[in-house]
Structure 1
Amino acid sequence: MGELKRRAVHVSGTALPAAYLLGIITYEWVRWLFLFGALVALCLEAVRLSVGLDWRLYEELTREYEQTNLAGYALYMVAATVVAFAFDARIAIPAILMLTIADPLSGLLGSSEPRSMKELSVLAVTFAVCFVLAIPFVPLVPALLGALAATLADGVKPVFRGYVIDDNLTIPVAAALAISLGLWLTGGAPLAPG
C-alpha cells in the first residue's frame, strides 16, 4: 500500500504542468510556484533531517535510503524548478511529465525487481511513455533523445559516496538537457537555456 501512495504523490506532481497546459496559469506562474514549492520542501527537509519531523506521512512515503537523505519529493521540486527556469515550456514541461507520469508507471511495473537496474521490458515501456509525452512538444529527434535520457536516468540509480542519486533529481534534468541537445542538433534552436 505504501508503494501505491508513493506513486500517487508522484503523479500529483503533474498538477502544475497540467494547469499550464490547460491554460489555467502562465509558464511564469509555473516557474514561481515550483520555486515556492522547492523552498518549502527544502525547509521541511532541513527540519526533518536536523531536528526530526515525526510525521506519519514521512514514515509511509519515504524509502529507507531517504530516512537520512533528502526525500524524493524535495528532489522532484528542486529538479523541476531548475528545469522550469533553465528551459522554455516546450522542453521543461515534457521533461517534468516524464518524471510525474512515466516514472511512477515504471516503478509499478518494476516494483518487484531489484532497484539497481530495471528489466529491459520495463525500460522499454518507460521509453515509450516518455516518447509519447515529448512528441507533442518537440520534433522526433529531440523527443527520442529526451525519452532515452529519461529512461536511462530511471533505469539506473548511481550511488555517490553512499548517497543514492534519486531519479526524481536526474530524470527531468537529463530529459531537458537531451531534448535541448536534440533541438540544437536538428537546427530547432536550444542548447542554450530558454
Structure 2
Amino acid sequence: MSKSVPKIIRQVAYYRPALQQQTHYTEIEVEETTKVRKHWVTNPHLYWVPAGVDLEDPDGYLEPLEDPDLNIRRDWSRYREIYQILTPAAIKANRERYQLSGREYALILGISHSSLSELENGLVLQSDEQDSLLTMAANQTAFYQLLRRRQAIFTTVFSDQKYAAILKRVEEMVTSKPN
C-alpha cells in the first residue's frame, strides 16, 4: 500500500465511552493505492490522527471511529466504477424489476440467499463469477432462459403455481419491450 502526503480535512472531538472522555483528532485524507481482488486501486482514504501525533507518522493513523469500514467501502466503490462491476443498488434493482423475493432470485441464480443479501447490502464484494451471473440476469431474455432451465430446482422449493406466475411475468417483460 502506498500513501501520499496527508491533507487535513477537519478537527474532530469524539467521545470515547470506554475512556469516559472526549478525545481530539485531526481527520486527514491520504491518497492510497490498495489491492482489491487482483487489482490495484488508488483512492482517497480518511483517517483520524490523535491530537499531537505527527501527521506523517503512519503508526498514528486510525480508521474513522464513527465508521471503521469507510475506506474499504470506498475502495470497493472505486473498484466497481473502474471495472464496471454491478453496485449493490443495481443488483437489488434488477431483482425488484422481476418482482422477486431475495430467496426466489437467489434460487434462480443458483446462489445462497445469504450471499445475495450480503451483495445487495454492500457487505461483501461479489466475485467475478457472481458478477457475470448477476450481469447476465440483468438481461431479461437471458434471465427468462435461466428461469426456464431452473424449473425443476425452483419447484422443489416453491410451488408450481408460483413458478408459473413468475415465468409468465418475465415472459411478458421479454415480449413487451426490448431489454
State the TM-score, normalizing by the size of structure 1. 0.29
More strand by share: 2
Q: Which has the higher contact order (CA 8 A, sep 6+)?
A: 1
More helix by share: 1
State the TM-score, normalizing by the size of structure 2. 0.30
Give 1 or 2 for the bigger CA radius of gyration. 2
